[in-house]
Amino acid sequence: MRTTYFIASILFMHFGLLGQEKEHSWWKDRVQISGFVKYMNTASIANLDSMITDNLIHNRLRLKVNITNKLTSVVEMRNRIFYGEATSLNPHLGGLLNDDYGLIDLSFVPVDKQAFVMHSILDRAYLKYSAQKWELRVGRQRINWGVNLAWNPNDLFNAYSLIDFDYQERPGADAVRFQYFTGGLSSVEFAAQPGSSLDSSVIAAMWKFNKWKYDFQLIAANYLKDITIGAAWAGNIKSAGFKTELSYFHPKSNFADTSGALSLSTSLDYSFKNGLYLNGSLLLNTSGVSEPLNASSLFQTFIGDITAKSLMPSKLTYFGQISGAFNPKLSASMSLFYMQGINMLLCMPSIVYGIEENWELMLTAQAAFGSLSNTFKSMGSGVYLRLMYSF
């Protein structure tokens, strides 16, 4: 009782102080809280007569504290509540979600009932020291080295998939990252995500520079069991954007006798005066397959199993996107992925409507078509309706 009173009085004093002008501005200047809450309804259709629905409440909480002018702490939490048909059909969901692949387990499943699962994870938790010429980050963080829209072979620390539209922040990597700025647009960077051995670690260096109005980057890395070299550029051909990104992976064991894998993506994009945006990309994954897939879980091969080395299961994949805004509140896009050899087409139409300043409604579908027994037909689809509130 006495403790409660003590805590309450401290809180009271604290908020009392916050009310005062000086303290209030300290708080306002130093601490930033932001995030979103999303509700998403999913309908998965395996074939036309069976549909499974599910619900997801998804919250992201970002806390940024500028401890001093140079030292910042960033903590971001991803909280999700799953409930509905699909949740009750998957008794292992809680266990699957609880896996934290980082050095420290920052994942919690407070509720794991048959039709109701709650999961929380800290996917960012790092300290950042920003000096004028350099920056050091230690902890769980996103190291985004990607250049292209659709595929990022240079994104060695957390591979990104456009198909996983509801998690564009991506998981964090438990790593140390040091950047040294050698000029306005040039830097050298070193990042390490340590594992129990060299074969479970990613240790990489990158050199960035700008020449002939192009951004360039060169990478050398110990990427798990491979030695990797990578490169990328982003520039223009006339008024169209031209970006290319590649990484070559060579196994460390039997270095001389084995062949490596090349992951290369290149793209052209263009914006018309009326706001219409076009992007055409190509991905070459030499370790991919070129015959029809036999995957039990289709979307898992595109979302769950992707790495910088294998961003798509097929050897050659084409990507096209067209997007535009009907007005400042209503926009739409259509993305297509075609996997050559596997002979599969994935369509992703999407409509986004900004209801009010911080409210947004989105309707997205994903439909896969492929060749099964010599006929090209639907291989499953999902429809997602999402309401989002940002703060």
Partner 1 sequence: MPHLKILFFLLISLKLQAQSAQEIIESADSKLRGKSSYSEMSITIVRPKWQKTMTMKNWSQGNDYAVSLVTSPAKEKGTVFLKRKNEAWNYLPSLERTIKLPPSMMTQSFMGTDLTNDDLVKQSSMVVDYTHKILGSQRILGLDCWKLQLMPKEEATVVWGKLIIWIDKKDFMQLKVEFYDEDEELVNLMMGHDVALFDGVKLPGKIEFIPLEDEGHKTIIKYDVWQFNKTIPSSYFTTQYVSRLK
- Give the residues lining the site for partner 1 (CB under 8 A): 34, 36, 130, 132, 135, 142, 144, 146-147, 149, 160, 168-169, 179, 181, 184-185, 187, 210, 213, 215, 234-236, 238-241, 243, 269-273, 275, 325, 327-329, 354, 357-358, 360, 388, 390-391
Among 304, 310, 284, 339, CA closest to 155? 310
**Please, what is the minimum distance in Å from the beta carbon of residue 317 to partner 1?**
21
**Please, what is the minimum distance in Å from the beta carbon of residue 102 to partner 1?**
17
Instruction: Give the tokens for residue 175.
Output: 């790593």
Virtual CA dihedral for 77, 78, 82, 86, nearest 10 degrees?
Answer: -150
Residues with Cβ within 8 Å of residue 250, at least 6 apart in sequence: 226, 227, 228, 258, 259, 260
* Cα 16 to Cα 176: distance, rounded to the nearest angstrom: 39
Answer whether 370's CB lies under 8 Å from 376's CB. Answer: yes
Pairing assessment for the beta strands 359-372 and 214-223 based on DSSP bridges: unpaired
| Closer by beta carbon to partner 1, 92 or else 133 | 133
Query: What is the separation, in whole angstroms, between the first and last Cα of the chain?
Result: 35
**Please, what is the minimum distance in Å from the beta carbon of residue 149 to partner 1?**
8
**Please, what is the minimum distance in Å from the beta carbon of residue 17 to partner 1?**
24
| Closer by beta carbon to partner 1, 218 or else 325 | 325
**Please, what is the minimum distance in Å from the beta carbon of residue 86 to partner 1?**
26
**Please, what is the minimum distance in Å from the beta carbon of residue 234 to partner 1?**
4
Answer whether 218's CB lies under 8 Å from 207's CB. Answer: yes
Residue with tokens 């009907």, as numbered in its chain:
326
Half-sphere exposure (CA, 13 Å, Cβ side) for 383?
7
Among 288, 246, 243, 289, CA closest to 264? 246
**Please, what is the minimum distance in Å from the beta carbon of residue 71 to partner 1?**
13
| Closer by beta carbon to partner 1, 157 or else 302 | 157
| Closer by beta carbon to partner 1, 23 or else 169 | 169
| Closer by beta carbon to partner 1, 5 or else 212 | 212
**What angle do helix axes 21-30 and 2-19 make, rounded to 10 degrees?**
90
Q: For 83-198, where are the alpha helices, taking DSSP H only?
A: 85-89, 93-98
**Please, what is the minimum distance in Å from the beta carbon of residue 113 to partner 1?**
31
Answer whether 388's CB lies under 8 Å from 362's CB. Answer: yes
| Closer by beta carbon to partner 1, 22 or else 238 | 238
**Please, what is the minimum distance in Å from the beta carbon of residue 189 to partner 1?**
10
Report how far apart, in Å, the C-alpha atoms of 232 and of each of 220, 260, 265, 303, 335 are. 12, 19, 9, 23, 23
Answer whether 36's CB lies under 8 Å from 24's CB. Answer: no
* Cα 167 to Cα 27: distance, rounded to the nearest angstrom: 30
| Closer by beta carbon to partner 1, 5 or else 272 | 272
